[in-house]
Amino acid sequence: MTVAVNHTPQTVRIVPFDWAYHDNLIALVTAIQRQEFGLPITAEDQPDLLNPAQFFRQEGKGEFWLAINDAQVVGCSGLIDCGNQTAALRKMFVHADWRGGPHGIAQSLLDISLAYAREHGFHQIILGTTDKFIAAHRFYERNGFHLIAPDQLPPAFPRMAVDTRFYALEL
């Protein structure tokens, strides 16, 4: 599934993961984590980032998408099958220059993730995030996600050490 997100003057395409963009993906995610939010995390700490093709598709129903503009990764999002018709939304990032209403990249990434989840029989989406991603909290809440306690996470949920807030959405 590929989606075009139009805004002037460029077009951003949302496509399934492609190894041609892997280095660019790592640079995007780690820059946001480390430089914008000061999180002490590296690419090596993130198996989902080192091998998205394997990590997100290991159970057969997961997927990982890239938002591409002019051969540059400007965003990403992925779903992991946690079993029991539950998926984990993971690695939802958008470059600072591409965030916000006029671009709609975060919304497009979430929309494609939710559509995919529904098409593949998921009934719940769960995600983990850090207290520092305040704008992300508002974004998820605007999209119907609600806070849940860590003890409500399914056993197969791929929890990151930096995750301190958890959200769920019933589909």
Model confidence band, residue 10 (pLDDT cutoffs 50, 70, 90): low
Model confidence band, residue 4 (pLDDT cutoffs 50, 70, 90): low
Q: Is 3 a residue whose pLDDT tops 80?
A: no
Report pLDDT for 161. Answer: 81
Residue-wise pLDDT tens digits, 34-80: 998 888 888 998 888 999 988 888 667 899 999 999 999 999 999 99
Burial of residue 122 (number of CB atoms within 10 Å: 0-12, 13-18, 19+)? buried
Return the structure tokens found at 160. Answer: 């990151």
Q: Report the C-alpha gap between 66 and 150 in whole angstroms.
A: 28
Q: Report the C-alpha gap between 4 and 13 in whole angstroms.
A: 4
CATH C-level class of 3-122: alpha beta
In this prediction, what percent of the chain has a pLDDT beyond 90?
70
User: Which of 83, 138, 140 is closest to 114 using CA atoms?
Assistant: 140
Whole-structure pTM value: 0.89
Phi-psi region of 165 (alpha: psi -120 to 50; beta: other; left: phi over 0): beta
Q: Report the C-alpha gap between 82 and 88 in whole angstroms.
A: 7
Non-local CB neighbours of 156 within 8 Å, separated by 6+ positions: 82, 83
Return the structure tokens found at 111. Answer: 């929309």
Return the structure tokens found at 93. Answer: 């990032």
Report pLDDT for 101. Answer: 74
User: Which of 67, 63, 74, 68 is closest to 125 using CA atoms?
Assistant: 63
Q: Share the mean pLDDT of the chain.
A: 90
Q: What are the extents of the domains in the chain?
A: 3-122
Q: Report the C-alpha gap between 104 and 26 in whole angstroms.
A: 22
Q: Are 77 and 109 in contact (CB under 8 A)?
A: yes
Residue-wise pLDDT tens digits, 84-98: 999 999 999 999 999
